[in-house]
Structure 1
Amino acid sequence: MGPTASGKTAVAVALARRLPVEIVSVDSSLVYRHMNIGTAKPDAETLKAAPHHLIDLVEPYEAYSAGRFRDDALTVMREITERGRIPLLVGGTMLYFKALREGLAELPRADPALRLVIDNMAAERGWPALHEELGRVDPETAARLSPNDAQRIQRALEVYYLTERPLSALLKKPKYVYFPYRPIAVALVPGDRERLHKRIADRFEAMLEQGLIGEVRWLRRHYALDLSMPSMRCVGYRQVWKYLEGEYTLEVMRERAVAATRQLAKRQLTWLRAMKDVTEFDCFAERVAEEVLAYLEAVIDAPGEQGHR
């Protein structure tokens, strides 16, 4: 695990050369086909050397949930272990890790017709008005949401309309957890936060040089997309979209994309700090892959709990 730009893929590929592992992506942006540059998707050479499971699963106009990830990951992990190998889960989508290990509350599936009704209500009255309505039926959920958080307000109202129960109450119900594995949790974290910020800025500049703007143009031309879709809310894509719409200059787009990526890294590190039994390594250590490998070789067959800071 680790924040964006911490070098997770490089370490994972190094481990795959030495251990009987298969890489399982835990990344909510790598699931989208044709979104390669802005997601820092491993290139063909990397994928040939170390194939990744759970990338390129859906089209950019489709949604992909933590629940679907959990089902897909458990299926792939079972197949890997049946081959006598070890699943190596790699990524920075902390909600997916949490869903996999701790399970998810039982909530109704999305209802496209009902979502369209809610969207039409929002078009007529605005999301702040729907946030007020949510406050009447589910004040606990409304209190933690911004009045303009369209996606979460929509989901909370959808759940209430489908079940006649507030989302906050359903989330408190006991969860059934099936996770028949002993996880060894390793995190790559920055010993120097400013150095991570520089790496983020340098990586986004490299993405622009590799053709990120052209990639977003191609996506807009080939798919009926808009900024409300999860794929276009990925950091980088949203900012380039606004540049193509003329809302941002090139320089403002750069600044906003880098700032959004830094905020993403901050949120990922917050998640990591709250997780138990995680062994941390400085992602800027000169021989970090070798350090992680040595640690795993020492504990992979050892009983008991691991984890230190």
Structure 2
Amino acid sequence: MKPAILIHGPTASGKTALSIAVARKFDGEIVNADSMQVYDRLNVISARPSEEEMDGVPHHLFGHVPVATRFSTGEWLEQARTVIEDIQKREKTAVVVGGTGLYLMSLIEGLSDIPPVPEDVRHEVLEIAKADGLRGLKIRLQVVDPDAAARIDDNDRQRLTRAYEVWLATGRSLTSFQNNKTNAVLNPDEWLGVALTPPRSKLYARIDRRFEGMLMEGAMEEARALDRLGLDPELPAMKAHGMPWLTAFIRGELDAATAAENAKRDTRRYAKRQFTWIGRQFPFWPRIPSTEIATRIRVISALYREVDR
């Protein structure tokens, strides 16, 4: 069985092009590990690779989930398990790529068996966050799950909300569930993981350029189509990079320049949080600071030879 190659990195760090090059070199197939690229109708906004970019390399778990769905990490993990096992049975290399660290972590460490959170609890926590702000929500979390509160950034709405939802729904802290993980897909000797860590100034400039390119490629039209569906703004797909600000522009709440600048700013902030996640959750993964594909391939090839002995 060929070891899987896991590629993580912040948004706009060049994961797509690298993954295709890696798949070609190691006779591989690509498995998506990005929580936005799983959704349909988000071709441009999620920076999902086009058919032209895929260039004949098989891609899995891209654009297969309806945007009106709340797709969980547990669902992704079980789908990824099936796909990876199939790839390995055919003696191919699974190249798992994406910016969602929790997806990659679940592959190698398993996932906590957390019961589903009822919709009324989700709504209650959203109302708390609106009334008290994220600071107030974190203070509440510090009381019931101090470990999670210490780990989660003050501005990370999604993870703060999730941790408090779990406690409110189950009476148990998220940390207590996370300390009892099961069902890892890959054993320690069955994978190689690398983290792309390009210079931040270059990355932030690339984020800005990429968003401008997305606007030219149809991001606004994509946002208009989603807005017409009348979906719950709290759905994950409606929080894709730039989507809230594009929606605000469409509804006449912001001018185009302000919407675009806010979208770029939020994406840069998200990239900063991804760097923090890499530092905390993947401390032993080799870093590749170079932005050159040829250099990245050389590093991965050298590491792969060590794992595949």
Structure 2: tracts of 5 or more residues without a match: 1-7
Give 2:98's aligned residue.
Answer: 91
Shift of 1:52: 1.2
Q: Match of 1:178, as an amino acid?
A: A
Match of 2:118 in 1: 111
The DSSP-based 3-state class of the residue aligned with 1:278 is coil
Work out whether residues 141 and 164 of structure 2, in 8 Å CA contact, stay in contact via their aligned partners in 1: no
The answer to which of 25-34 and 238-247 deviates more is 238-247
Q: Report the CA distance shift for 1:115/1:272 in structure 2 as closer, same or farther (over 3 A).
A: closer
- TM-superposed deviation, 1:42: 0.5
Instruction: Give the CA deviation at 1:232.
Output: 1.1
How high is the sequence identity, in percent, across the aligned residues?
Answer: 33
Query: What are the Cα deviations for residues 30-61 of structure 1, in whole angstroms up to 9, with x where unaligned?
Result: 01101111111101122352121111121111
Which residue among 43, 47, 51 is the counterpart of 1:36?
Answer: 43
Residue in structure 2 matching 1:215, options 189, 213, 222: 222
CA distance in structure 1 between the aligned counterparts of 2:78 and 2:291, rounded to whole angstroms: 34
On the 8 A contact 2:39/2:66 being kept in 1, the answer is yes
- Compute the displacement of 1:255 (Å): 1.1
Residue identity opposite 1:291 in structure 2? R
TM (norm. structure 2) is 0.83
CA apart distance, 1:138: 2.5
1:186 alignment counterpart:
194
Deviation at 1:287, TM superposition (A): 2.5
Contact 1:32/1:56 (CA < 8 Å) preserved in 2?
yes
> Which residue among 245, 266, 271 is the counterpart of 1:239?
245
Aligned to 2:28: 21
- Larger deviation, residues 141-150 vs 153-162: 141-150
- Structure 1: segments with no counterpart, 5+ residues: 303-309
Residues 65-106 of structure 1, C-alpha deviations (whole Å, 9 max, x = no match): 111111111111111111111211111111111122112222
Asked if 2 retains the 8 angstrom alpha-carbon contact of 1:141 and 1:156, the reply is no
Provide TM-score, normalisation by structure 1: 0.83
Question: In 2, Cα distance between the equivalents of 1:107 and 1:219?
Answer: 30
- Mapped contact 1:105–1:174 kept (Cα < 8 A): yes
* Larger-gyration structure (1/2): 1
Q: Cα RMSD over matched residues?
A: 3.0
Q: Is the 8 A contact 1:6 1:283 kept in 2?
A: no
1:114–1:143 distance in 2 versus 1, CA, 3 Å: closer
In 2, Cα distance between equivalents of 1:174 and 1:219:
38
Aligned residues: 296
